Amino acid sequence: SHRVSILSSHLSPVMASEKEAALAATPSDSPTIFDKIISKEIPSTVVFEDDKVLAFRDVTPQGPVHILLIPKVRDGLTGLSKAEERHIDILGRLLYTAKLVAKQEGLDEGFRIVINDGPQGCQSVYHIHVHLIGGRQMNWPPG
């Protein structure tokens, strides 16, 4: 159908990696996969949860420990570039919770915090999230 041809014309037939998908992704306000993780409709390995923040293991870990911390309510915060003053509390809470989870995971020698933003930042999910990666030596500069 016409609709199918429109869809296929802007989707590459082979998406070799999630990062390629991120580079092709269009920033969007639509619901994301993380809504279903928050509602537990899609299972995840939760490592920390309170009324505001959910932390769960990344399905494609980039280290022995790779956890995503997200606000349970997105409130327009598709990415850090969309932050407004009303988000200051949740932004601080995400980082503070990352520190608690790093401790809980035994990352006493250090860890890496990453927030990818937009296509050039390789963001693929438009619900802000903090990556907590550790358990191995990190390198600098990042790719």
Minimum distance, C-beta of residue 5 to ligand TR5, in the bound complex (Å): 26
Under the binding rule (CB under 6 A), the answer on residue 116 touching ligand TR5 is yes
Query: Segment 35-64, which members bind ligand TR5 (CB under 6 A)?
Result: 42, 44, 58-60
- Number of residues located near ligand TR5, criterion CB under 6 A: 14
Q: Which is nearer to ligand TR5, 44 or 97 (CB)?
A: 44
Give whichever of 43 and 85 is closer to ligand TR5, judged by the CB atom: 43
Q: Are 122 and 30 in contact (CB under 8 A)?
A: no
Name the segment binding ligand TR5 (CB under 6 A); options: 3-11, 70-78, 118-126, 135-143: 118-126
* Residue numbers annotated as active site: 129
What is residue 126's three-state secondary structure? coil
Q: What whole-number distance in Å separates Cα of residue 139 and Cα of residue 80?
A: 23
Residue 51: half-sphere exposure toward Cβ, Cα within 13 Å: 0
Cα–Cα distance for residue pair 89/91, rounded to 1 Å = 5
Give the angle 95-85-111 at the CA atoms, nearest 5°.
15
Residues that bind ligand TR5 (CB under 6 A): 18, 22, 33, 42, 44, 58-60, 68, 116, 122-125
